[in-house]
A and B are shown apart, each in its own frame.
Chain A
Amino acid sequence: MDSTTMIAMASIATAGLTIAIGSIGPALGEGKAVSTALSSLAQQPDAANTITRTLFVGLAMIESIAIYCFVTSMILIFANPFWNHVIAQTAGK
């Protein structure tokens, strides 16, 4: 097995694992945040504006963790630096 095949295999498998494992934590966190916000809204409908704004900002913070995983997996598939390095080496020979 030459090195391009190895790198392709490792990158694809790792990209899938990155987004699969990396989205577990943010999913649990977002579910907890939304459920807490819903119960607070039910208790205090007057504070709906503040709760909703804080919820959105917090959700964005939590979701950015999943987005980092997604960006990492996209880099692994479409803009892999090791892949480009090996391709440039073989082209130079």
Chain B
Amino acid sequence: MHLSPDEVVFWHHGIFKLNATIVFTWALMFVLVVGSKLITGRLSKGMSRSRWQNFLEIIVTGIAGQIKDVGLPNPQKYLGFIGTLFLFVATANIFTIIPGYDPPTGSLSTTTALALCVFIAVPLFGIEDQGLKDYLKSYLEPTVIMLPFNIISELSRTLALAVRLFGNMMSGAMIAAILLTITPFIFPIVMTALGLLTGMVQAYIFSILAAVYIAAARRTPQPEGAQS
């Protein structure tokens, strides 16, 4: 029983290690890129469209609708970032039904990388929206005394993002492994099904939280009666 797929090393040469996390991340990237390339290669605008095009359109419009509901007008701008996060985490978690697959999100390295992307992207979107000076001024709200607490909250929510996804995925794999040794007949299947549900919820939560943080960073004081 291993704690994370980092410990499964397929090949190493000097300081370079090829562990299960990297290999499965590459496999996921390959599946996502080639799959969407194949589907978007022949898009149709007419009434007859392939079922895969419908599938992708449902996903994209669904994500865009969710981003808009969080309070970000003009969701097309954030669709690339938040949609990528959601699709990667969701496919990484849903592929756990394939035997012999370890989700790369069950490794703290992957989730830390994703959380760092959010950590960097949030100030960038905030600065782009309201300018450097106004963005930095938002750290002084409501008073100057709150400055260290605002910075701490920025750091701790990044840590929380990383550890939450890692803990959920790792606990799913761990519970299935423990149950296999105690009751190896039916219960592991039930817990794996529960793990699939948790994986989808975590993917949703990860992307929604990223959207919420971006929405909080770009909150400009709206004039009275203005149309957003």
Contact = CB atoms under 8 A, between A and B. Distances in A.
Contacts of A63: 164
A70 B3 CA distance: 12
Interface of B: 3, 66, 69-70, 160, 163-164, 166-168, 170-171, 174, 201-202, 204-205, 208-209, 212
B166 A71 contact: yes
Interface string A56-69: 11001101100110
Contact of B204 (A49, A56, A78): A56
Contacts, number: 43
Q: Which are the 10 A-B pairs with shortest beta-carbon distances? A: A67-B167, A60-B205, A64-B164, A71-B167, A78-B3, A64-B160, A67-B164, A70-B167, A70-B171, A57-B208
Interface of A: 49-50, 53, 56-57, 60-61, 63-64, 67-68, 70-71, 74, 78-79
Nearest to B211: A57
Secondary structure class of chain B's binding surface, majority of residues:
helix
Contacts of A71: 163, 166-167, 170
Contacts of A78: 3
Contacts of B168: 67
Contacts of B209: 57, 60
Contacts of B171: 67, 70
A25 to B, nearest CB: 16
Contacts of A49: 69
Contacts of B202: 60
> Most chain-B CB neighbours within 10 Å: which of A50, A67, A70, A78?
A67
Contact of A74 (B66, B160, B174): B174
26 contacts: A49-B69, A50-B69, A53-B66, A53-B69, A53-B208, A56-B205, A56-B208, A57-B205, A57-B208, A60-B164, A60-B202, A61-B160, A64-B160, A64-B164, A67-B163, A67-B164, A67-B167, A67-B171, A68-B167, A70-B167, A70-B171, A71-B163, A71-B170, A74-B3, A74-B170, A78-B3
Contacts of A68: 163, 167
